[in-house]
Amino acid sequence: MTDTSKKPGWFKRLTEGLSRSSRQMTEQVVTVFGKKPLDQAMLDELEEMLIEADLGPNAAARVTEAFGKARFGREASEIEVKEALAEAIGAELVERQGRFEPLSGPRPYVVLFVGVNGSGKTTTLGKIAADLTGRGAKVLVVAGDTFRAAAVEQLKVWAERAGASFMSRPTGADAAGLAYDAYEQARTENYDVVLIDTAGRLQNKSGLMD
């Protein structure tokens, strides 16, 4: 078992950090846009803010354009600014929304989380696990990031919070073997979903991806 005394602190810091960054961002946007008619300089500033908030330059440009289209030359109240920005960001996400229906179709449904370090694999896995167990699914969370001990601990916290089962191996163990065994176990024990975390890698590193 992990040292449970550490968990609330870690989780609290995480959620506080997340809400702090989105709050700062919103306050910044409202300060810049709430007071006068929207002009190009303000749009440039918005684009910069979005890039600083890690949106990616292309997405930032698209969101800024959509926001500008709706608001250019107009003064807006704080609530209107927030709504217009939320709408522009929402539209950006809808386009990329894939069909993710793990609870319909054959079981177990297996999801492998891949991507660059720090892109949010483990956190997203935790959120999805919580959503699925909340809907009554039997979920197995697998620590396929066998590279770092801390990665295993981080995922274990998420699994416990979600009420999901958890499977891991000692640091350095073969990740593919673990994934295979997890799948076998999920089949025998009638799990609905298997969520497999992996160590970070760039998508173009085909050796690592394989």
Ligand X SMILES: Nc1nc2c(ncn2[C@@H]2O[C@H](COP(=O)(O)OP(=O)(O)O)[C@@H](O)[C@H]2O)c(=O)[nH]1
Q: For residue 117, state whether it binds ligand X (rule: CB under 6 A).
A: yes
**Minimum gap (Å) between residue 163 Cβ and Mg ion:** 20
Binding segment (CB under 5 A) for Mg ion, from list 28-36, 46-54, 72-80, 116-124: 116-124
Q: For residue 56, state whether it binds ligand X (rule: CB under 6 A).
A: no
Strand pairing category for 193-198 and 139-144: parallel
Question: What secondary structure does DSSP assign to the chain, as a single string?
Answer: ---GGGHHHHHHHHHHHHHHHHHHHHHHHHHHHSSS-B-HHHHHHHHHHHHHTT--HHHHHHHHHHHHHHHBT----HHHHHHHHHHHHHHHHHHT-----TTSSSSSEEEEE--STTSSHHHHHHHHHHHHHHTT--EEEEEE--S-HHHHHHHHHHHHHHT-EEE---TT--HHHHHHHHHHHHHHTT-SEEEEEE----TT-HHHH-
Q: For residue 148, state whether it binds ligand X (rule: CB under 6 A).
A: no
Binding segment (CB under 6 A) for ligand X, from list 29-37, 40-48, 111-119, 177-185: 111-119
**Minimum gap (Å) between residue 93 Cβ and Mg ion:** 22
Q: For residue 200, state whether it binds ligand X (rule: CB under 6 A).
A: yes
**Minimum gap (Å) between residue 152 Cβ and ligand X:** 12
Q: In this structure, how many other beta carbons lie within 10 angstroms of the beta carbon of residue 37?
A: 12
Nearer to ligand X, 43 or 110 (CB): 110
Nearer to ligand X, 84 or 128 (CB): 128
Binding segment (CB under 6 A) for ligand X, from list 1-9, 41-49, 118-126, 174-182: 118-126
Q: For residue 14, state whether it binds ligand X (rule: CB under 6 A).
A: yes
d(CA 114, CA 196) in angstroms, rounded, equals: 9
Binds 118: which of Mg ion, ligand X, none (CB < 5-8 Å by kind)? ligand X
**Minimum gap (Å) between residue 189 Cβ and Mg ion:** 25
User: Binding to ligand X (CB under 6 A): which residues in 15-44?
Assistant: 18, 21
Considering Cα of 123, then 127, then 133, then 134, what sign does the dihedral take? positive
Binds 171: which of ligand X, Mg ion, none (CB < 5-8 Å by kind)? none
Tokens of 142: 């697998």
Residues interacting with Mg ion, by CB under 5 A? 121-122
Residues interacting with ligand X, by CB under 6 A? 14, 18, 21, 115, 117-123, 200
